[in-house]
Amino acid sequence: MKIERKNTLIDRFKLAIYIGEQYWDTIRYDIPRFLKNLWLFRKDLYNYCWYSGQHAVLPFMKTALMDMAAKIDERGSEVESSKSKKVMKMWRAAKLMEHCIEDNFIELAENELGEIVHRDFEFEVAPDHPGCYQLVNNNTPEEDEHNTKVFARAREIEESMWSELWDILKGQNPAEIKSLPEIDEDAYDKWYDGSGLRNWWD
């Protein structure tokens, strides 16, 4: 004779408690954190393009840095002297990333040197290729020179900002700490400028 134990309501309740204990951290912490992160990075996820670095990696880094900077500034337990330096560098890095994402270096150069001269397209018959047309350059030599300067300045700004961004992320050389004067208690605070991605964890 085969005897089977009936699955009672109490057994089901115990099973629910057991499962709840096993997955409590996931239910209580992981899922809400995932949903918060999904909302935080919603624009970056929407605009993500695998073939474009400025729309793939940098937007996520910028959003993360801005979130970290705000949270560390508000809740960070570090002493104010170094914490404020970190937060300022994080905001600066996020701002540099924003320029790289928007690719607005020509606009920045135009703010310095004046706007690029634009004219409507005009075409003429190409003398060397019958039946074909070529674009007519209606700019004066001065206007062409001005446009060249604006483009060159935009390239300089881009290189400068890109270099500054990676200098901030790389941080200072830790070997320099050994050369700080031991008699000066504030030597480290004076030396440390807040840069260095590895130093930004609270």
* The predicted structure's pLDDT at residue 118: 84
Q: Which pLDDT tens digit goes with each residue over 111-137?
A: 999 998 888 878 888 888 888 888 788
Higher-pLDDT residue of 18 and 39 is 39
Report whether 97 contacts 65 (CB < 8 A).
yes
Higher-pLDDT residue of 49 and 19 is 49
* The predicted structure's pLDDT at residue 4: 57
Higher-pLDDT residue of 96 and 28 is 96
Q: Which pLDDT tens digit goes with each residue over 80-122?
A: 888 899 999 999 999 999 999 999 999 999 999 999 888 887 8
Phi, psi of 178 (to 5 degrees): -65, -25
- CA distances for 164 relative to 57, 96, 100, angstroms: 17, 8, 12
* The predicted structure's pLDDT at residue 175: 84
Percent of the chain with pLDDT over 70: 91
Going by C-alpha positions, the residue among 29, 62, 24 that lies closest to residue 165 is 62
- The angle subtended at Cα 20 by Cα 18 and Cα 26, nearest 5°, is 135
> How many other C-beta atoms can be found within 10 angstroms of the C-beta atom of residue 165?
20
Beta strands in 43-98, from DSSP E residues, in sequence order: none
Q: Which pLDDT tens digit goes with each residue over 141-159?
A: 898 899 999 999 999 999 9
* The predicted structure's pLDDT at residue 35: 94
Question: To which residue do tokens 């979130």 refer?
Answer: 67
| Mean pLDDT along residues 30-48 | 92
Domain borders along the chain are 8-40, 104-158
* The predicted structure's pLDDT at residue 6: 60
* The predicted structure's pLDDT at residue 13: 66
* The predicted structure's pLDDT at residue 123: 80
Phi, psi of 183 (to 5 degrees): -75, -20
First to last CA, the chain: 66
* Single-letter residue type at 198: R
Query: In whole angstroms, what is the distance from residue 10 CA to residue 176 CA?
Result: 66
160 pLDDT tier (thresholds 50, 70, 90) = very high
* The predicted structure's pLDDT at residue 3: 55
21 pLDDT tier (thresholds 50, 70, 90) = low
Mean pLDDT of the chain: 86
| Mean pLDDT along residues 42-46 | 92
Report whether 199 contacts 86 (CB < 8 A).
yes
